A and B are shown apart, each in its own frame.
Chain A
């Protein structure tokens, strides 16, 4: 198992140079059965990451480019009357896939956004009074442009909460960029990626995540972190129980990726910015700085 995980990380690392931490976070997110929000400027490799993940995990992959004139039916699908049979037939939309890349999700209208986000939460869609389950596993990787950019609709907090993690890739390191200049073609690398695992294996991995042990000492630490968000004057809104649970799951997946049967405080700290950052958004600054401060303020051992 461990071999598979390191191979996956390594494969993606070939496409997305020097972003091992982000790749691992993305993988942890998927292993914890969560959806991933990648927030960054255009051209930073958001799509590439999603693409590579889909390929290496052997998932059926669809991509939707969100635009402002998109309608929910464009994602979910639509029933069309067929003359031959004289009946309506449901044409599945792109949401019926194992890995959906929702590109630039904040470019579409809130109506469309919520259609997708509902599917993410329920893992099923209801059309014409009929409930249709989505494939298993089902991941959404959404990318979004930073909010300052024009022509974007802000995702409300309730919908941000649906994403287990929000990560940003950031500029590549000097070495990675030099490698790009030297002609390493990510696109070609992407084509070379072969699936390392099938759906069955992925489900098994996801099952293993639940077996990672969280000791009382660790839960204490987690509790104190969560309490801090709820009591500190800095945080506008504290972490919800769902947020706290997300943190625990993500930390489990992170520990599994690092070949551990138990969570260490480092694991919590590693996933904390990605899991809590978008949930703690305050009026002024970004949640990430808040989380950074919080990690220094809350010691791992109760004082």
Chain B
């Protein structure tokens, strides 16, 4: 074959080219959101160039241009991404190679290579998103890529309906394999942690609290946590999901030293792997609540749990402030198991160290004189910590209102709120409460997290949304340790009991574009959708090595190589056997007419007697050959042959009966033995 002919044979036809581009587009589309925009532009340029090549308007780019393109792309990547060893640059690198391959997409081999890369790139989608819509989109990608592969076969395979149809058929056939592999494929832990992009905007509770933060959160109904309990469930007024503790106040903003942005440099209490070592923190009695929290991506490392909690989940640590943190920002949904103890059971006899006490009494040098004066006055009246707290709460209860739209505050936020506006949101209450308590000399801190949650009945899990974000306070009482005080509860107890919606009825989600939350049906629909999402996460996404082991153990009893082999082998063997039977049945064609069957039996017996009928030999010819070579059988063979010919070729019923009778009584070997004639040696009559 000449070189020219070879090239023509493998040169890509138009349909194949279009299919490859379609597959690339489908795969790249979801990546457009986070890929640098110059890369998208480059892809379109490469595709355009390739189309121009196809139309004969431009030459295939030479070595120099290719080199230039590679250099530009690498330089672009280097400029776009500072850190190389992260997921996004890697995906971008893949996309770049994908893009550049287009300009030398000449032969069928190149097309197949490009499509294989497309499979890979489609898989990287799940690094970023693992929700149901993305899973469906992944399936769509598979269908299109496979169809593009099908289209490379030429001769009409590129027609849209045919390619897609075949592709779907192939993928449907692959589903059982997929399911089996999903269950039995060993789940390898990550060999190395590829850091996800950390610059994504964090959502939910942030590293600091300044006025307005929480009312912003109250406008979002995105899910934040899903909590399922194993055993007892805390009552609504106890559902405080602690996330962060703020101890530092600069006059306007509460923050925590060591926590900036989404980085955690705070003190880690211990790593959970060695939980035996620091039993001092955890009570000796068993935990009261066991639950699993599934947290949505927040791009922050802090996790949410009830007071005094501990987690065995890998990567989760406890902090000195009784909160949990993850070893890196939570970039995708994360599930962690938590055990919680009530505060009362733990802190008998605990003491606050002087450093801790200083930390929790910190206040700015100046500002908010009225609040400080009010606290001083209470102190001078001889009240103890608890009494001061109660009188403050009583004050809230008397004359404050709970609203999502408080008036703006000036420089002295606490004073203005306490003595002027008296309208506010949880953060205002927590802010002023902790400030005042500290001014009165009581160690106090602000705690941010979520409060409450809505039951999703069928699944028995608690759905906590962003608008459940809440801020409250904790004060140190020498005899009781840290005690939670929620000043908001003093003003609007229904906020704690029934959630935000009932507390601020009119104001709730007022800015929403469509007030969908007011329509019961849609609310129900959204809850159901959430349930589906939860199940998806529970059964598919979080199917890790542990759960795999558990499932296999439940199915197999024990996980031994033999049982695994049986588990895999038996269905495969059964499937293959079924296929074999089916192939056999379908290949046999219509059943033979009875005359032919009887005649074939005659032929078999003749073959055993050493004289097989040759392929294509007519019955008459065969009978004559028998007469010639085994004269002893001749007359009988002739009668059978005549009967067969009449039965098969004149459709005579009598002849069929006769044929059957004759064949039944025809035993050539016996007959030959009786006559003492040895059957002819096989070789002489073989073909």
Say whether A and B bind each other. Answer: yes
- Among candidates B596, B618, B650, residue contacting A261 with C-beta atoms closer than 8 Å: B650
Would you call B616 and A302 a contact (CB within 8 A)?
no
Which residues on B sit within 8 Å (CB–CB) of A302? Answer: 589, 592, 596
- Among candidates A217, A261, A296, residue contacting B614 with C-beta atoms closer than 8 Å: A296
Would you call B645 and A301 a contact (CB within 8 A)?
no
Question: How many Å lie between the Cα of A269 and that of B618 in the bound state?
Answer: 8
Question: How many Å lie between the Cα of A213 and that of B645 in the bound state?
Answer: 12
What is the distance, in angstroms, from B234's C-beta to the closest C-beta of chain A?
77
Question: How many Å lie between the Cα of A53 and that of B593 in the bound state?
Answer: 41
Question: How many Å lie between the Cα of A261 and that of B649 in the bound state?
Answer: 10
Given known pairs A264-B645, A264-B649, the reply for A298 and B616 (CB within 8 Å) is yes
Given known pairs A262-B650, A266-B620, the reply for A297 and B615 (CB within 8 Å) is yes
What is the distance, in angstroms, from B616's C-beta to the closest C-beta of chain A?
4
Q: Give a binary string over B571-606; 1 marks a CB under 8 Å from any A CB, 0 the rest.
A: 000000000000000000100110110011000000
What is the distance, in angstroms, from A236's C-beta to the closest C-beta of chain B?
21
Say whether A173 faces chain B, with CB atoms less than 8 Å apart: no
Would you call B618 and A218 a contact (CB within 8 A)?
no
Say whether A299 faces chain B, with CB atoms less than 8 Å apart: yes
Say whether B662 faces chain A, with CB atoms less than 8 Å apart: no
What is the distance, in angstroms, from A204's C-beta to the closest C-beta of chain B?
22
Say whether A265 faces chain B, with CB atoms less than 8 Å apart: yes
Given known pairs A217-B595, A217-B649, the reply for A301 and B600 (CB within 8 Å) is yes
Would you call A300 and B620 a contact (CB within 8 A)?
no
Which residues on A sit within 8 Å (CB–CB) of B648? Answer: 215, 217-218
Which residues on A sit within 8 Å (CB–CB) of B600? Answer: 301
What is the distance, in angstroms, from A274's C-beta to the closest C-beta of chain B?
16
Interface size on A, residues (CB 8 A): 20
Would you call B619 and A213 a contact (CB within 8 A)?
no
Among residues of A, the one whose C-beta sits closest to the C-beta of B590 is A302
Say whether A82 faces chain B, with CB atoms less than 8 Å apart: no
Would you call A213 and B650 a contact (CB within 8 A)?
yes
Given known pairs A301-B592, A301-B599, A301-B600, the reply for A215 and B618 (CB within 8 Å) is no
Say whether A184 faces chain B, with CB atoms less than 8 Å apart: no
Q: Give a binary string over A271-303; 1 marks a CB under 8 Å from any B CB, 0 the rest.
A: 000000000000000000000000111111110
Among residues of B, the one whose C-beta sits closest to the C-beta of A263 is B649
Question: How many Å lie between the Cα of A262 and that of B600 in the bound state?
Answer: 21
From 617 to 666 in chain B, residues with beta carbon under 8 angstroms from any chain A beta carbon are 617-621, 645, 648-651
Would you call B650 and A299 a contact (CB within 8 A)?
no
Which residues on B sit within 8 Å (CB–CB) of A269? Answer: 616, 618
Would you call A262 and B592 a contact (CB within 8 A)?
no
Question: How many Å lie between the Cα of A300 and that of B596 in the bound state?
Answer: 10
Question: How many Å lie between the Cα of A265 and that of B619 in the bound state?
Answer: 8
Say whether A200 faces chain B, with CB atoms less than 8 Å apart: no
Which residues on B sit within 8 Å (CB–CB) of A296? Answer: 614-616
From 182 to 229 in chain A, residues with beta carbon under 8 angstroms from any chain B beta carbon are 213, 215-218
- Among candidates B614, B616, B649, residue contacting A218 with C-beta atoms closer than 8 Å: B649
Which residues on A sit within 8 Å (CB–CB) of B649? Answer: 213, 215, 217-218, 262-265
Among residues of A, the one whose C-beta sits closest to the C-beta of B650 is A262
Among residues of B, the one whose C-beta sits closest to the C-beta of A217 is B648
Which residues on A sit within 8 Å (CB–CB) of B592? Answer: 301-302
Would you call B616 and A264 a contact (CB within 8 A)?
no
What is the distance, in angstroms, from B27's C-beta to the closest C-beta of chain A?
42
Which residues on B sit within 8 Å (CB–CB) of A297? Answer: 615-616
Would you call B618 and A300 a contact (CB within 8 A)?
yes
Question: How many Å lie between the Cα of A14 and that of B244 in the bound state?
Answer: 121
Would you call B618 and A266 a contact (CB within 8 A)?
yes
What is the distance, in angstroms, from A244's C-beta to the closest C-beta of chain B?
18
Question: How many Å lie between the Cα of A58 and that of B645 in the bound state?
Answer: 35
Given known pairs A215-B650, A217-B648, A262-B650, the reply for A299 and B596 (CB within 8 Å) is no
Our count of residue pairs bridging A and B at CB distance below 8 angstroms stands at 56
What is the distance, in angstroms, from A112's C-beta to the closest C-beta of chain B?
41
Which residues on B sit within 8 Å (CB–CB) of A295? Answer: 616
Among residues of A, the one whose C-beta sits closest to the C-beta of B621 is A266
What is the distance, in angstroms, from B348's C-beta to the closest C-beta of chain A?
92
Question: How many Å lie between the Cα of A87 and that of B649 in the bound state?
Answer: 60
Among residues of B, the one whose C-beta sits closest to the C-beta of A265 is B618
Which residues on A sit within 8 Å (CB–CB) of B596? Answer: 217, 301-302
What is the distance, in angstroms, from B658's C-beta to the closest C-beta of chain A?
16
Which residues on B sit within 8 Å (CB–CB) of A262? Answer: 649-650
Which residues on B sit within 8 Å (CB–CB) of A218? Answer: 648-649
Which residues on B sit within 8 Å (CB–CB) of A265? Answer: 618-620, 649
Which residues on B sit within 8 Å (CB–CB) of A215? Answer: 648-651
Q: Which of A213, A265, A297 has the most CB of B within 10 A?
A: A265
Which residues on B sit within 8 Å (CB–CB) of A266? Answer: 618-621
Question: How many Å lie between the Cα of A213 and that of B650 in the bound state?
Answer: 7
Which residues on A sit within 8 Å (CB–CB) of B617? Answer: 300
What is the distance, in angstroms, from A161's C-beta to the closest C-beta of chain B?
25
Q: Which of A261, A264, A269 has the most CB of B within 10 A?
A: A264
What is the distance, in angstroms, from A222's C-beta to the closest C-beta of chain B?
12
Would you call A264 and B615 a contact (CB within 8 A)?
no
Would you call B615 and A299 a contact (CB within 8 A)?
yes
Among residues of B, the one whose C-beta sits closest to the C-beta of A303 is B615
Which residues on B sit within 8 Å (CB–CB) of A299? Answer: 615-616
Which residues on B sit within 8 Å (CB–CB) of A213? Answer: 649-651
Among residues of B, the one whose C-beta sits closest to the C-beta of A300 is B618
Question: How many Å lie between the Cα of A301 and that of B614 in the bound state?
Answer: 11
Question: How many Å lie between the Cα of A265 and that of B613 in the bound state?
Answer: 14
Given known pairs A213-B650, A217-B648, A263-B649, the reply for A300 and B619 (CB within 8 Å) is yes
- Among candidates B589, B599, B620, residue contacting A264 with C-beta atoms closer than 8 Å: B620
What is the distance, in angstroms, from A232's C-beta to the closest C-beta of chain B?
14
What is the distance, in angstroms, from B604's C-beta to the closest C-beta of chain A?
12
What is the distance, in angstroms, from B624's C-beta to the closest C-beta of chain A?
10
Given known pairs A262-B650, A264-B645, A301-B600, the reply for A216 and B593 (CB within 8 Å) is yes
- Among candidates B614, B618, B651, residue contacting A216 with C-beta atoms closer than 8 Å: B651
Which residues on A sit within 8 Å (CB–CB) of B595? Answer: 217
Question: How many Å lie between the Cα of A266 and that of B616 in the bound state?
Answer: 10
Among residues of B, the one whose C-beta sits closest to the C-beta of A214 is B649
What is the distance, in angstroms, from B639's C-beta to the closest C-beta of chain A?
16
Question: How many Å lie between the Cα of A78 and that of B619 in the bound state?
Answer: 54
What is the distance, in angstroms, from B298's C-beta to the closest C-beta of chain A?
67
What is the distance, in angstroms, from A2's C-beta to the closest C-beta of chain B?
18
Which residues on B sit within 8 Å (CB–CB) of A300? Answer: 616-619
Which residues on B sit within 8 Å (CB–CB) of A301? Answer: 592, 596, 599-600
Among residues of A, the one whose C-beta sits closest to the C-beta of B597 is A301
Question: How many Å lie between the Cα of A301 and that of B649 in the bound state?
Answer: 12
Among residues of B, the one whose C-beta sits closest to the C-beta of A270 is B618
What is the distance, in angstroms, from A120's C-beta to the closest C-beta of chain B?
32
Among residues of B, the one whose C-beta sits closest to the C-beta of A215 is B649
Question: How many Å lie between the Cα of A177 and that of B620 in the bound state?
Answer: 31
What is the distance, in angstroms, from A302's C-beta to the closest C-beta of chain B?
6
What is the distance, in angstroms, from A253's C-beta to the closest C-beta of chain B?
16
What is the distance, in angstroms, from A227's C-beta to the closest C-beta of chain B?
12
Q: Give a binary string over B424-435; 1 marks a CB under 8 Å from any A CB, 0 the rest.
A: 000000000000
Which residues on A sit within 8 Å (CB–CB) of B614? Answer: 296
Would you call B618 and A264 a contact (CB within 8 A)?
yes
Q: Give a binary string over A231-267; 1 marks a CB under 8 Å from any B CB, 0 the rest.
A: 0000000000000000000000000000001111110
27 pairs across A/B with beta carbons < 8 Å?
Answer: A213-B649, A213-B650, A215-B648, A215-B650, A216-B593, A217-B595, A217-B648, A217-B649, A218-B648, A264-B618, A264-B619, A264-B620, A264-B649, A265-B618, A266-B619, A266-B620, A269-B616, A295-B616, A296-B614, A296-B615, A296-B616, A298-B616, A299-B616, A300-B619, A301-B599, A301-B600, A302-B589
Interface on B for A, CB 8 Å cutoff?
A: 589, 592-593, 595-596, 599-600, 614-621, 645, 648-651
Known: A217-B593, A300-B617, A302-B596. 16 other contacts (CB 8 A): A213-B649, A215-B648, A215-B650, A217-B596, A264-B620, A265-B619, A265-B620, A266-B619, A266-B620, A269-B616, A269-B618, A296-B614, A298-B615, A299-B615, A300-B616, A302-B592
Across the A-B interface, the 10 shortest Cβ-Cβ residue pairs = A217-B648, A265-B618, A266-B618, A296-B616, A215-B649, A262-B650, A295-B616, A262-B649, A301-B596, A266-B620
